[in-house]
């Protein structure tokens, strides 16, 4: 009998080694190499999406002769999810949904299943973590009663493939990919080998049969989807479900999408009856804004094709340490250091002995350049202890020389601010040409940071040193 060999596989990146190492050479993570049994070699087998004979001839085609057509999509009847997916579910697509435990992944997918089943689309929900009775309890809480929604508690991929062949559903949901296994792979469920092979099997099912497959993935402590990085490369779409368990709002974000944009977000609110769409998130993010408080500024940010108005809060206080602290929530902290350096060098604010705490209210993450000017005004407002005007929206990118640079889609941002009752928008002066502002709102163009601070804060101070403009 041949001796069975073992190998050590990194659980983060899939790197394989014949001996154990403390640090993975592939991803440089510590203590991630786990011993696994090496599968016995088998006969050669053709693996791919074709259902024809393995020995058939394959001939490449000129790209000019290939017919291009728009992918037909199936609406989930949940507008926020349709927006993130790019218009709906594409038949034959493989979608990976990740998020923290208890964030609402299973609830969202069960609601999607019910919506499709109500429109005569057969859905197969495979639960590897819960029994069918537990799934039924969740369905009762959500008020789901659909005959076309089929539920199965199974973890064997071979059995799942046989059931899919018999039922021929329009959508298959695997909850979760870390719980299913293949008998041919000797390692435990959730290991790199099992996750890779199981995902490959479901990918073949999706592509050969034209069935959309949703995979639920666990996340690590760092927030990344558990398993090898190749898992995200194999699927067509990667969705992250974000939010805090102590808050009711959830954000669905696409980080990879072969059938649509990766800039879209969907916003939901968790209630006792399940997840409900938030059709106007700007009102939600601004409803608790304090009037007359220093250190607050509103910015109109673009999330894909949607304009979202959010509040940026800043707290500047004298430091009690040798090195001042720079903390940010929802914004890259390096951007905070850059903006504070511009304020100190170009405007004359002495911020080198001040702690800075910046936060985006509502738990939203912003990364586009148009939020720079709003951050600048919020920091200056807190430092001078002078509140901004409650009817102002501030938009613009800040350069290192103190200039305010143009941003895209300024008309759409101004229209959204006018809808929510704001009376003035501060924008870069270069974007004022070629369009007309809507009635009821004033658009003011600025060229420098000093000019923007003069318009929004004026020359008055309240208990802190003034600075020259």
**Binding site as annotated, residues:** 99-106
* Closest CA relative to residue 379, chosen from 425, 326, 330, 307: 326
Cα–Cα distance for residue pair 231/224, rounded to 1 Å: 11
Backbone angles phi, psi at 4, to 5 degrees: -80, 130
Give DSSP secondary structure letters for 114-171.
Answer: HHHHHTT--EEEEESSS-HHHHHHHHHHHT---TTEEEEE--BHHHHHHHHHHH--SE
* HEC readout, 298-324: EEEEEECCEEEEEEEEEEEEECCCCCC
Contact 355, 458 (CB under 8 A): no
Distance of CA 295 to the CA centre of its chain: 28
The answer for residues whose C-beta is within 8 angstroms of residue 279's C-beta and 6 or more apart is: 79
Angular region, 402: left φ>0, alpha ψ -120 to 50, beta rest: left
Distance of CA 356 to the CA centre of its chain: 27
* Binding-site annotation, residues for ATP: 99-106
Measured distance between the N- and C-terminal CA atoms of the chain, rounded to whole angstroms: 85
412-to-175, 223, 297, 415 alpha-carbon distances in Å: 39, 33, 19, 5
Please list the alpha-helical segments (H only) found in 187-280. Answer: 192-209, 230-234
The answer for residues whose C-beta is within 8 angstroms of residue 66's C-beta and 6 or more apart is: none
Cα–Cα distance for residue pair 116/70, rounded to 1 Å: 21
């Amino acid at each position: 009998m041949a001796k069975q060999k073992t190998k050590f596989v990194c659980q983060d990146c899939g790197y394989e080694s014949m001996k154990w190492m403390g640090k993975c050479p592939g991803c440089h993570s510590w203590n991630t190499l786990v011993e696994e049994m090496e599968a016995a070699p088998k006969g050669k087998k053709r693996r791919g999406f074709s259902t024809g004979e393995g020995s058939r001839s394959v001939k490449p085609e000129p790209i000019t002769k290939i017919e291009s057509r728009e992918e037909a999509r199936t609406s989930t009847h949940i507008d926020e999810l349709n927006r993130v997916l790019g218009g709906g579910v594409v038949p034959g697509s493989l979608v990976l949904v990740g998020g923290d435990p208890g964030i609402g992944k299973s609830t969202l997918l069960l609601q999607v299943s019910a919506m499709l089943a109500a429109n005569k689309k057969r859905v197969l929900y495979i639960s590897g973590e819960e029994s069918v009775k537990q799934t039924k309890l969740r369905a009762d809480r959500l008020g789901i009663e659909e005959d076309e929604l089929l539920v199965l508690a199974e973890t064997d991929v071979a059995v799942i493939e046989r059931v899919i062949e018999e039922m021929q559903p329009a959508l298959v949901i695997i909850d979760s990919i870390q719980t299913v296994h293949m008998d041919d792979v000797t390692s435990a469920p959730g290991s790199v080998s099992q996750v890779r092979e199981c995902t490959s099997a479901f990918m073949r099912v999706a592509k050969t049969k034209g069935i959309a497959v949703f995979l639920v993935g666990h996340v690590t402590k760092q927030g990344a989807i558990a398993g090898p990085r190749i898992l995200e490369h194999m699927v067509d779409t990667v969705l992250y479900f974000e939010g805090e368990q102590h808050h009711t709002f959830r954000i669905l974000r696409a980080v990879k999408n072969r059938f649509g944009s990766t800039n879209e977000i969907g916003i939901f609110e968790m209630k006792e009856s399940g997840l409900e769409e938030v059709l106007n998130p700007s009102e939600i993010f601004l409803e608790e804004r304090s009037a007359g408080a220093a250190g607050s500024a509103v910015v109109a940010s673009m999330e894909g094709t949607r304009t979202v108005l959010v509040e940026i809060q800043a707290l500047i206080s004298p430091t009690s340490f040798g090195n001042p602290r720079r903390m940010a929530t929802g914004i890259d902290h390096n951007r905070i250091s850059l903006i504070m350096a511009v304020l100190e060098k170009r405007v004359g604010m002495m911020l080198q002995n001040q702690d800075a705490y910046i936060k985006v209210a509502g738990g939203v993450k912003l990364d586009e350049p148009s939020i720079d000017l709003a951050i600048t005004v919020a920091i200056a407002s807190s430092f001078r202890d002078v509140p901004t005007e409650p009817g102002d929206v501030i938009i613009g990118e800040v350069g290192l020389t103190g200039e305010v640079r143009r941003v895209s889609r300024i008309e759409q941002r101004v229209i959204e601010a006018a809808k929510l009752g704001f009376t003035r928008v501060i924008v870069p002066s270069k974007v004022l040409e070629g369009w007309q502002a809507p009635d009821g709102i004033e658009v003011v163009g600025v060229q420098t940071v000093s000019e923007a601070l003069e318009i929004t804060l004026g020359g008055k101070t309240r208990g802190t040193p003034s600075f020259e403009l």
